[in-house]
Structure 1
């Protein structure tokens, strides 16, 4: 897997042939903070419309997410489709910001990983409380625990994918046609 650190990406962005920076976080996360000039291509949209999007990418690509996990999944998707010039921003937007590199900021929203922790914790706490009145409710907590273990082992997160579909995490322009038109127009 090809990784670039933040300084490498900054140098590449000022080069004569800068890479396309594809941010695979949700539109809500992208709106909160993103690298100037990056394109928001949420991971689920990238997977669904991979071939259509790839027809408009010939440059080197740097994938960005919060910390690198979703970017790794996006890289695997693009490499399986035949794109070899794909790299990951090591440490994601968190490392970029920590390095003091410039970002565009918008309305502040919780990142997807934080939302997963909140929802999982809430379900576990409520199911344990409910088990005081409803026998067997503690099994809901068990299922959430198993789900979190499965997410860690497979590097996927069903709860995260579900939360990404909520209106809070979707943007008005989060569709394949808009993404492709931005990639073609480089706007």
Structure 2
């Protein structure tokens, strides 16, 4: 069975008619920006979705995660009709619908990893050009770590960033 997508306007009408809105993004993403009234149930815990007969509208940031995991989401919805919010929260916002943003929350962990990895590679390259060529090892180490994370699904840098003081805050 193919899961149907709803435009932001149609999704809003479905929610007004009683459908549940479920945000499958991680808690740090949800804390920074969310659709008011959305239940946050990260993809890793989607099987914990409470059983209910009401339709379910799933969303992520851009719609790619929900589309890629459509069979899992359909299964998690059980007997309820499942829908995907076309374009995710980005499309919802562009359609002029309300979003709750808390910019005091830290950036999402994956964005922090991208910024940190990029900075380390850049610093390693600059130091190898201007100080000593052996600094290229820093860039190589970061590149190897990113490849390892991609292959195994375990990212040491993300785990390290999660325990940093700015990421220990509770979501509002």
Same fold, judged at TM 0.5 (above): yes
Which residue among 112, 115, 127 is the counterpart of 1:115? 112
TM-score (norm 2): 0.69
Question: Alignment partner of 1:133: what SS?
Answer: helix
Query: Which entry has the higher C-alpha Rg, 1 or 2?
Result: 2
Q: Say if 1:81 and 1:28 are closer, same or farther in 2 by CA, change over 3 A.
A: closer
Distance 1:73 1:158 in 2: 20
Aligned twin of 2:11:
9
Question: Alignment partner of 1:8: what SS?
Answer: helix
CA shift digits 1:50-70 (9 cap, x unpaired):
1xx244333221112111233
Q: Quote how far apart the aligned CAs of 1:32 are.
A: 2.5
Q: Quote how far apart the aligned CAs of 1:105 are.
A: 3.2
Distance 1:69 1:170 in 2: 28
Matched, 1:87 2:103: no
TM-score (norm 1): 0.64
Task: Tell me, yes or no, if the aligned pair for 1:20 and 1:59 is still in contact at 8 Å.
Answer: yes
Q: Say if 1:142 and 1:32 are closer, same or farther in 2 by CA, change over 3 A.
A: closer
Task: Tell me, yes or no, if the aligned pair for 2:24 and 2:58 is still in contact at 8 Å.
Answer: yes
CA RMSD of aligned residues (A): 3.8
- Count of equivalent residues: 162
Structure 1 spans left out of the alignment, 5+ residues:
174-187
Q: Say if 1:171 and 1:56 are closer, same or farther in 2 by CA, change over 3 A.
A: farther
Q: Quote how far apart the aligned CAs of 1:93 are.
A: 0.9
Distance 1:77 1:171 in 2: 30
